Structure 1
């Protein structure tokens, strides 16, 4: 098995390595987003109808009492499959592009490599996610639109055609590109910082449990920082999908500058922080179970054997 992995380039970035990263990204992202569907339902409704859903506690109470417990799980299929597909592209392509950019930009700083790799991966990941997100948001905020993906896809296509699935692609990029770039870069540097300043040992000298603990700490930090940066675009996406505005500029004006940064921010921090942490934990656990090292913590000097 070791020879097989070596031939496929486990260390250098080959089919086996990228395949495991893609599968790990799909499973970790799909499972974690599915688990927080109730919070996502509330978040989207708070963005679209802030008067009716002014806070987390009152919003959950309204949904539970007026629409029943099942309302909290609306759009679960979009979360599971949409973000599963997105996670596969995001993590798998990030590892691929990181290897390519590291080789191409040998004289650039690691931050530049991390930014470019995450941005390149996210562009493709959001193209894959966009149709699922278009249906999911409508299912969550318009109870009579559809029950899920199976009837939501044909209904949306009949009403708006292919364009309806990609109406929010630009603001989706606007939300996810900065988030992904900040998240991956923060994660990579956080892992490196934790090993150097706190653990004070190389990753290879730590147990798998210790390595996964570092992954969780760095993952939560990365998720919280990325959430704050991407909040304005997230509000705009919800507004466009629910026809509260026809353009990004109109949506931004309707929401207001302060509300772009503050509306639904507490629930997004509560939602995204743990989700990103669990994603990195599951992702790295899958890598470890397949004989691969956990993510981050390698400087270019170490990778090149200097």
Structure 2
């Protein structure tokens, strides 16, 4: 997630994203220091904190990918099927964009309930390297010192970020793939061709999702960095952070995130398609033309 997630999906695509995510979070939390872009940020982190620092937050990110990916991809197919059951196949097909949006949003909501504590822990570990030693230590310390509520202080921002992110991700993927298969006969396309189409569609979907969700991703990093003031609610904190950031500040780290989300999403859909083929479920719940 977390970038965020943000962030989710097949583990094979996650490893390079983990290091990008650590650097990206630093850029968002301290744009004055980390002002040299993705590559420059890598060099700064390694020079200042050592090579191992780029893997800070590895545990919660990996756990978040596993849980959120299961909820998101499985939930998306589940809610598409429920839509068909509710309104009928022909109505679902005629209104497929709305079905894609609703299915993605519902799947993401439940995925975020699982993701939020892990994302809060990851951001705290990145922003305060001495806070705790790994996922279990960080999770336990936040629970003991701040309570369960601290894990969900960023739930609103996560929804604000992840729901539009996932909606854009699945809808753009479906639309791009549908456009390509309008020209290419899917039944005649080789396995390699289908994987390539999944990669290309996923890359474009990832770019769209990153742009749509970037402001909320930056706010999420900020709100999880420190505790709120006594009596300060999440909404008031978000308003204050938004005013401080401005439009330009809310897109800090966008270059790193475009690279990260674009490549990750391309890999996710390619692997997801291959897994469905291996399981004999190549169609999934299809309502495209």
TM-score, normalising length from structure 1?
0.84
Residue in structure 2 matching 1:220, options 203, 208, 212: 203
Give me the whole-angstrom Cα distance separating, in 2, the residues matched to 1:168 and 1:233: 10
Gaps of 5+ in 2: 1-6, 229-233
Give me the whole-angstrom Cα distance separating, in 1, the residues matched to 2:134 and 2:197: 37
Give me the whole-angstrom Cα distance separating, in 2, the residues matched to 1:39 and 1:269: 10
The alignment partner of 1:205 has SS state of: coil
Runs of 4+ in 1 over 6 A off after TM superposition: none
Residue in structure 2 matching 1:105, options 65, 69, 87: 87
User: Could you say which structure has the greater relative contact order, defined with CA pairs below 8 angstroms and 6 or more residues apart?
Assistant: 2
How much is the aligned-residue C-alpha RMSD, in angstroms?
A: 1.9
In the alignment, which residue of structure 1 is the partner of 2:269?
A: 280
- After superposition, the C-alpha distances for 1:69-91 in whole angstroms (9 at most, x for unaligned) are 00011111111111210010000
Give me the whole-angstrom Cα distance separating, in 1, the residues matched to 2:35 and 2:21: 15
Residue in structure 1 matching 2:111, options 104, 125, 129: 125
- After superposition, the C-alpha distances for 1:148-207 in whole angstroms (9 at most, x for unaligned) are 11211111111210001111011000001001011101111111101113x2x1x22222
Aligned residue pair count: 271
1:1-306 to 2 correspondences below 5 Å: 28-55=9-36, 56-106=38-88, 107=91, 109-197=95-183, 199=184, 201=185, 203-243=186-226, 247-260=237-250, 262-293=251-282, 298-299=286-287
- After superposition, the C-alpha distances for 1:36-74 in whole angstroms (9 at most, x for unaligned) are 211111100000000110022332111111110000111
Offset, 1:132: 0.6
TM-score, normalising length from structure 2?
0.89
Q: 1:36/1:144 Cα in 2 relative to 1: closer, same or farther (>3 Å)?
A: same
**Matched-pair contact (CA < 8 Å) for 2:8–2:68:** no
